[in-house]
Structure 1
Amino acid sequence: MVSPTFVIIGAGLAGAKAAEALRKKGFDGQLILLGDEHHRPYERPPLSKDILTGKAERESAFVHPQSWYADHDVDLRLGTQVAGVDRAAHEVVLGDGSRVGYAKLLLATGAEPRALPGAQGTLQLRRFGDTERLRQVLESGSRLAVVGAGWIGLEVAAAARQAGLEVTVLEALELPLLPALGPEAARVFADLHTAHGVDLRLGVKVAEASATHVKLADGTRLDADAVLVGIGAVPNTALAEAAGLLVDNGIRVDAHLRTSDPDIFAAGDVANADHPFLRHPIRVEHWANALKQPAVAAAGMLGTDEVYDELPYFYTDQYDLGMEYLGHNEGYDRVVFRGDVEAREFIAFWLKDGKVVAGMNVNVWDVTDPIKALIRSGTTVDVDRLADPSVPLPEAGTDRTGTPA
């Protein structure tokens, strides 16, 4: 009997971890991993963190050593463009017109930085080459303008300030990170960057941007040695759409990461997945999803349905602030702080109907497990105990008698 061929489109972290999971789970058929970049799969968080600041070399970002792919009989095809997916024929159409047959297919096509209309010559941050260009600016420039106060924009701003550059950050909303954190916690990051000398301009609209200047809607012109645009990302769904798969803010998949075609799966930034715990679909553009979702997709490709129900997780490092975030705060009605917000050593909890739905630890470590437990418990918490650092976190969901609050 001829072993089946599995194909993975997208040679990033998600694609590489899917190949790894398939081999670990015993798949011994032909395994083809297609990537449009000329580098073997690598992780992206270091691009705006340690690689950008020079604390780590490029080699540290690679998911596997070069030899791993041959050792595990993974046919890694780099610099390969995919033109389409022929679902009826069970074939992937490559850019040169050739075709690759598949029994099961995984789409791990990721996302691309959102473009700023009309911008010419601006920088972005998604790939190795982007980081190299930014490092040149940090090493030889004196002024950087950043459009967008999201995670990428703020991490680059921090790196640039630490390199001694003058930095201006331009954000259309009233606070940085407002959609992710809400006004209560977003204020912490506004104050952080202001304290480190960033010219943070909020509630402004960019009318024009080029390699060396930004013009605001009110006519203000800001000159710079470089302009970085970091206004979010767009999932790469073109292949899925053209193939007739269900697409809605990413490729729609069930909790097993299966698309509307039973032989096609999706994982990572591009997947908008049903979430059994949250009870609604969610697409998360963060490292943890790309790291952990592929094992579930691999199980489904092998005919064993596993469920992906990990809580959303992300982290950031800016100046002397390190942070981890767990959960999903959509629809929250209260934020409770535990610790010293002014000193930036605290935990923030987002509550909805008296229950913890998300938590963020800032310069407080080894608390993700109890935060996760509080979220998953669905317990109505005692707010006073939750805010009291003297009460162990595992007990914060109970009243003073030890009974669930």
Structure 2
Amino acid sequence: MATDEKLKMFQFVVVGGGIAGVTCTEQLLSRFPSAGVALVTAAPQIKTVENFKQVSKTLEEFDVAECPSSVLEEKYPNLTVIQSAAIALHTHDHILQTSGGLEVRYEKLCICSGGRPKLLTKDNPFVLGIRDTDSAQEFQKRLSEAKRIVVVGNGGIALELVFEVRGCEVIWAVKDKAIGNAFFDAGAAQFLIPSLAADRPEGAATCKRARYTTEEARPGPSHTTYTADRRESAPGPAEPGSALGPDWHEGIALRGAEEGVSVSVEYQCEVDKICTREELETPVSEIESWPVYIQLTNGKTVGCDFIVSATGVVPNTEPFLRGNNFVLAHDGGLRVDDHMRTSQADVYAAGDVCTACWEHSPLWQQMRLWTQARQMGWHAGNCMAAHVLSEPIELDFCFELFAHITRFFNYKVVLLGKFNGQGLGLDQELLVRCTKGHEYIKVVLSGGRMVGAVLVGETDLEETFENLILNQMDLTPYKDELLNPNIDIEDYFD
């Protein structure tokens, strides 16, 4: 047992300084202005939500500000920030141990430890995962000397990377039939593909989403500006820092050693082997010798200066949660109910580390985005407060309809409901309107009712379509006019 100096006691303890953790913490602090609240985070910076805007009933936009944890402590006198990695949890004793030797006793605990990257391979100097601000800087440095890179992955970071890199040949390996498979369909992908070959003047794109500033702990400039779109930080001194998403490139020059822009996509393939020239099983008839080669499952072998691993994340439940018999979901996340409770008494979870295992609304799905991290953190804080005060609480309305705003290839992208027909099988009908270089609109109907939509470009249809999805109005009589560009659909259903 720890000495008195090493034992700290709090009513509420939150693990993780990302959006979910900080949002949960602030919600608890607003409900309990005199209770002891502790935020345990390994990183010196935390993420806070700024400039929050409720665009519609379910759509929201906000900036993500990364700042020293002391800013939060100054704002809330009853908050204690413990800058130390969580290394062990003893749920029976309600004690959390940190790498700094502290034992933190809690009444209620919320785990918001985020996700950790799924790298293609570990400890290979030619494989770089872009996860946090440090790795983004390392990527910028290595790219400046590169003539060719291979990008593996089809998520948000990969989408932004291939669009922003200049002066370097990019070979993009995706396992799907189309780019951006998690965010939009093949039609939207085809709409966006020409943007990869188009001239893109540097600095032309305006970042309209999350932006944050990190304070350097090492000698050098006092501030470096980056952007963020979704996840939260993973704990532990050797773990990656706060994760990046679309717009992560803002503020750093992504330029290689050559001139021009060249992106080629290898579809429906994965990595078979990564090796040096000497390790190749068959001779390579390339003129140039490359530092590393990647063999793809489509039979192609490609040489390059380095490989970018952008293959997503997994819930960060290791290692401090071991030995507690938490019930995990199929994706490795902590199972939580509609009150954000895990399988262990007085332990809650929010954000990327958990999996929503309640009976979902037919129009909602979990996608581990910044917006969902904030929503889960806010709901978890409310639930913890309600349970302490013995108040009833219901699932927040934000979980009624999936709604997300982002940007890809400098186009505004709005995703609503079952935007890719998730789980509908053959029981769906698609309506599409596409104007090359301007907009792509797809509506998903099921049983004559709108259940999802993809809006690419400045369509101004998001609020109208959101209402139609929520109202579940039978649109069978209006299908022919629904996407008619000559009809003001907003007035039509006013």
What is the TM-score when the length of structure 1 is the normalising length? 0.82
Aligned partners of 2:148 and 2:98: how far apart in 1? Answer: 42
Aligned to 1:374: 468
Corresponding position: 1:220 with 2:220: no
Aligned partners of 2:490 and 2:339: how far apart in 1? Answer: 31
**Following TM superposition, by how much is the alpha carbon of 1:85 offset from its aligned partner in structure 2, in angstroms?**
1.9
**Following TM superposition, by how much is the alpha carbon of 1:309 offset from its aligned partner in structure 2, in angstroms?**
3.9
Aligned to 2:324: 243
Corresponding position: 1:390 with 2:486: yes
Cα root mean square deviation, aligned: 3.0
Corresponding position: 1:167 with 2:170: yes
Aligned to 1:25: 31
Aligned to 2:107: 103
Corresponding position: 1:142 with 2:140: no
Which structure is higher in RCO with an 8 Å CA cutoff and minimum separation 6? 2
| Stretch deviating more after TM superposition (202-211 or 260-269) | 202-211
Corresponding position: 1:203 with 2:275: no
Pick from 231, 234, 246 the counterpart of residue 314 of structure 2.
Answer: 234
Pick from 47, 51, 65 the counterpart of residue 41 of structure 1.
Answer: 47
**Runs of at least 5 residues in structure 2 that lack an aligned partner in the other structure:** 1-8, 50-62, 200-261, 276-290
Pick from 158, 162, 175 the counterpart of residue 157 of structure 1.
Answer: 162
Aligned partners of 1:99 and 1:302: how far apart in 2? Answer: 23
SS at match of 1:152: helix
Aligned to 1:313: 403
Aligned partners of 1:353 and 1:104: how far apart in 2? Answer: 44
Aligned partners of 2:179 and 2:33: how far apart in 1? Answer: 45
Aligned partners of 1:179 and 1:247: how far apart in 2? Answer: 23
**Following TM superposition, by how much is the alpha carbon of 1:247 offset from its aligned partner in structure 2, in angstroms?**
1.3
Pick from 182, 185, 188 the counterpart of residue 182 of structure 1.
Answer: 185
**Following TM superposition, by how much is the alpha carbon of 1:345 offset from its aligned partner in structure 2, in angstroms?**
1.2
Deviation per CA, 1:302-335: give whole Å up to 9, x if none. Answer: 1242423423333443333221212233134233
Closer, same or farther: CA 349–279 of 1 in aligned 2, 3 Å: closer
Work out whether residues 118 and 208 of structure 1, in 8 Å CA contact, stay in contact via their aligned partners in 2: no
Deviation per CA, 1:237-281: give whole Å up to 9, x if none. Answer: 235564222210322212222222341211111222256662598
Aligned partners of 2:142 and 2:413: how far apart in 1? Answer: 26
SS at match of 2:129: coil
Aligned partners of 2:137 and 2:195: how far apart in 1? Answer: 26
**Following TM superposition, by how much is the alpha carbon of 1:117 offset from its aligned partner in structure 2, in angstroms?**
4.5
Work out whether residues 274 and 280 of structure 1, in 8 Å CA contact, stay in contact via their aligned partners in 2: no
Closer, same or farther: CA 137–188 of 1 in aligned 2, 3 Å: farther
**Following TM superposition, by how much is the alpha carbon of 1:178 offset from its aligned partner in structure 2, in angstroms?**
2.6
Aligned partners of 1:390 and 1:262: how far apart in 2? Answer: 57
Aligned to 1:322: 412
**Following TM superposition, by how much is the alpha carbon of 1:339 offset from its aligned partner in structure 2, in angstroms?**
4.8
Deviation per CA, 1:64-113: give whole Å up to 9, x if none. Answer: 774232331332223x2212221111111223553101111111111112
Aligned to 1:353: 447
Closer, same or farther: CA 393–114 of 1 in aligned 2, 3 Å: farther
Larger CA Rg, structure 1 vs 2: 2
Residue identity matched to 1:143? R
Aligned partners of 2:299 and 2:422: how far apart in 1? Answer: 36
- The number of equivalent residue pairs is 377
Work out whether residues 255 and 309 of structure 1, in 8 Å CA contact, stay in contact via their aligned partners in 2: no
The correspondence of residues 71-82 of structure 1 with structure 2, limited to 5 A, is 71-73=75-77, 74-78=79-83, 80-82=84-86
SS at match of 2:422: coil
Structure having the higher helix fraction is 1
Closer, same or farther: CA 166–260 of 1 in aligned 2, 3 Å: same
Percent of aligned positions that are identical: 22
Work out whether residues 292 and 305 of structure 2, in 8 Å CA contact, stay in contact via their aligned partners in 1: yes
Closer, same or farther: CA 272–30 of 1 in aligned 2, 3 Å: same
Aligned partners of 1:270 and 1:393: how far apart in 2? Answer: 40
**Runs of at least 5 residues in structure 1 that lack an aligned partner in the other structure:** 44-58
Residue identity matched to 2:310? G
